[in-house]
Chain A
């Protein structure tokens, strides 16, 4: 059976997935390089190496993300909004609402039973509800972004960040650090500020049914737990694969559907 690939070149990270029989046989993630084409090449090479395959083995590849139109090897490109919907459906077949927090944008989607996006909204005015916000704050706190989630569980008196502007919130965080506020309280405040921004966006699509979070921030339990409280909904965990890979998975699933439909047509 044919082997397909999905490649998602985002603003912060690039991801690639190789699939066979609708199952992941190789994946790779890296920090995006300045040129989307280089990111795409490196991501696909990493995924192919993991699968023990070569580029020639891929029958069909779909690219997505901001670098979707700069992939030399991709047969077609699809927006990351559609790909995250499809990827979320693959990760959790019952998913009807998807909240995707990417490096520089944040999207909320409602899906139909086929994983097609029925309705979506994306952040318009600024990037405060995105992965970049957390990354900047983690930098200021001198820690890895992955430490923010576990850290906030230790908080006793989380701070409140009044500003949603990344730059001004950064100034507030520095002020709290200077005044000796425990770092876990600051970390929890950062996660809460992030969750509040995302909740406003998520509510615009009227979340219902099973809710899934995709993107790297889905791995931050501090943000997820606060978001659940704000939305009054349980957010399901993607156990089948890394939720950060959802866009690339969706692209690969679409590539799989494409060649399947071709076989059926012929």
Chain B
């Protein structure tokens, strides 16, 4: 478990260092809709790029301007400072317009900062609809990506390689799902912040090593006693976050636990297996686009609301905290709709707008979270002594 926290809390983590020490390539990608199995099949380590450890915004602000989501700005800041110089390739996607612009801003910054554009720099288009020609388009995009990887890295990605990669990734997904059920149960044995750190680690670590760590962790959890003092069960949803500290802020010094989430870096993307029997490219397309519950997809609000309601019921959630990064139109607008619909069904909700970064708004957020938890505690005593 400690390894998962180490990986989740630093970009240059040990598994990555060990991988690079063997002269093996690493490709960074920016969105949960990029099929990591493709890189794995090519012997490349795919890592999801994160904005943690950002200590300023001079580069991000210079190319992006102030009124935009701080997540891609943090990525660009780190790129400009050379924090990602170890990657051999980068894949940018239109996860949202701010993320799409990372492609342009990164290229432009590359004119001013030497060596920040990796040799393989690829724009991977992702449609906003999965139906009909949207899915055909996505399948084509995957095929283009495979061809480019083969060409640049001088590798061959076969259906057999892809099938093996899908099996390996599914192994991790199934383990995560089992651990997730230990967290969402009425007597959870794993905290929200531990679970989230483990899920983030899955986007960075070599898959075989990750699966091994998950197996060991699950074995230890099966011997663990239920967590004490879990009186308020929280679900966390909304904008991208890759920082377990946000969950820690909810769980520390309170009797609350994040028993469920619907986050881009969370089990939302990692909890379901890819079809192992179908054509591998079609199966990946169906998984990464067809099952997407991200608000960047058009016309799927009802589906996303249903996903939340199902999770709320399964996890016995007392309240939902919905956060969004400032200037995030997608999650900002959707959170307002979720709040209206969930509150109408008697599910208490708290909406938080925040900046992405190493817990920039900690004091402000903690006040609102505490007040929300006190609301959930109605009818209970206020106090147990310090």
A82 and B386 form a contact (CB under 8 A)? no
Kindly name the residue among A82, A116, A261 whose own CB sees the greatest number of chain B CB atoms within 10 A: A82
Query: B229 on the interface (CB 8 Å rule)?
Result: no
Of chain A, the residue at the smallest CB distance from B351 is A121
Taken together as a complex, chains A and B put the C-alpha atoms of A60 and B384 apart, in Å, by 11
Within 8 A of B (CB), among A62-102: 62, 66, 69, 74-82
Q: Which residues of B lie under 8 Å from residue A118 when comparing CB positions?
A: 375
Taken together as a complex, chains A and B put the C-alpha atoms of A116 and B371 apart, in Å, by 10
A75 and B382 form a contact (CB under 8 A)? no
B386 and A77 form a contact (CB under 8 A)? yes
Query: A56 on the interface (CB 8 Å rule)?
Result: no
What class of interface size applies to chain B in its complex with A? 10 to 19
Complex partner residue of B382 from A74, A78, A81, CB under 8 angstroms: A78
Distance to closest chain A CB from B298 (angstroms):
28
Query: B374 on the interface (CB 8 Å rule)?
Result: yes
Query: A228 on the interface (CB 8 Å rule)?
Result: no
Q: Which residues of A lie under 8 Å from residue B370 when comparing CB positions?
A: 78-79, 81
Taken together as a complex, chains A and B put the C-alpha atoms of A179 and B92 apart, in Å, by 54
Per-residue contact bits, chain A 171-210, to B (CB 8 Å; 1 contact, 0 not): 0000000000000000000000000000000000000000
Distance to closest chain B CB from A68 (angstroms):
9
B375 and A258 form a contact (CB under 8 A)? no
Query: A28 on the interface (CB 8 Å rule)?
Result: no
A122 and B375 form a contact (CB under 8 A)? no
Q: Which residues of B lie under 8 Å from residue A79 when comparing CB positions?
A: 367, 370-371, 374
Taken together as a complex, chains A and B put the C-alpha atoms of A120 and B368 apart, in Å, by 9
Query: B278 on the interface (CB 8 Å rule)?
Result: no
Query: A254 on the interface (CB 8 Å rule)?
Result: yes
Q: Which residues of B lie under 8 Å from residue A62 when comparing CB positions?
A: 382-383
Taken together as a complex, chains A and B put the C-alpha atoms of A130 and B367 apart, in Å, by 16
Listed in ascending order, the chain A residues whose CB lies under 8 Å from chain B are: 60, 62, 66, 69, 74-82, 105, 116-118, 120, 122, 124-125, 254-255, 257-258, 261
Q: 17 A–B contact pairs at CB < 8 A? A: A69-B253, A74-B386, A76-B383, A77-B386, A78-B370, A79-B367, A79-B374, A81-B368, A82-B371, A105-B364, A105-B367, A116-B375, A117-B375, A120-B375, A122-B368, A254-B382, A254-B383
